[in-house]
Amino acid sequence: MFDRFKRSYALVKASASVLRQDTHLLVFPLISGLASLAVVLCFALPMFGLSAFDGMSGQKAMLYSTGFAFYVVQYFVIFYFNVALVGATMMRLDGGAPTVRDGLNIANSRLGTIFGYAVIAATVGVILRAIQERLGFVGRIIVGLLGVGWTVATFLVVPVLVARNKGPIESIKDSAMLLKQTWGENVIGQVGMSAFFGLMFIALFLGGAGLLLLAAYSGSAVLIGLVVVAFVLLLLTGFLVQSALAGIYSAALYRYAANGEAGLGFDNGTLKAAFQPKA
């Protein structure tokens, strides 16, 4: 167990070393988050407006149609900036010096494929939601299992889109094939990275709560405000760093799965140990 944590830490550390060289990679998850928020706000009013049609024939169809459109637009935004991030990362792993414009140019060259994959992902999302609503508690269990399987199978879709420039269906197939070849049933790296940031956010919340209590005890409104602002900024920074590291890590894993080497900054031995299939 200790060796697994050591490998997970090593993978996060290697991803962080790439991010330190190109801190502007944080721009991609930042813009993605802002754009996603804008999408939510744009769809919020129409969704609330549909509540006025409760009980009317076709109301559920309208809800599903609006929900599907929301999923498509939201996934498109997320995938677009993920492609830009991973594209720039692959340039760095090849020894280049990517810019934000380089990443965006890569994403712009794959707009059709990104949209096609967003439609597929939205379709899966709507189907899973329908199953959950129809089957209740059992549906939530089924959706949870299917959701995990979908996430695992598509983990390398974005790097495949960047490196191979294939269509969305071919990219999903390649992603599933590469994952099966590389780590089999073992997903230590992905779980380890999530655990690492989970512990970090728990520590951040505990520390923030402690500081907020001290500030409240002092009775200073200015101090309380400063603590809240600092906590929010640290939390947002943590989410941005986690998103950037996840993209960097997926790019390195793809390179290792496809070529047997991850690129500059990553130890191939660590990757091999982390993702070897179970006996």
Number of domains in the chain: 1
Q: What angle do CA 244, 247, 248 make, to 5 degrees?
A: 85
Question: How much is the average pLDDT of 130-154?
Answer: 76
Closest CA to 161 of 58, 276, 266, 250: 250
Range of the domain at 126: 2-275
d(CA 61, CA 87): 38
pTM of the predicted model as reported, rounded to 2 decimal places? 0.80
Give the CA distances from residue 279 to residues 4, 183, 184, in Å, rounded to whole numbers and listed in that order. Answer: 16, 11, 10
- Per-residue confidence (pLDDT) for residue 189, from 0 to 100: 60
Q: What's the rounded Cα separation, in Å, for the pair 12 and 182?
A: 19
CA-based Rg of the chain, rounded to a whole angstrom?
21
Residue 231 is predicted with a pLDDT of 85
Average pLDDT, the chain: 79
pLDDT of residue 186: 45
- Residue with the bigger pLDDT between 278 and 12: it is 12
Q: How confident is the model at residue 132 (pLDDT cuts 50, 70, 90)?
A: confident
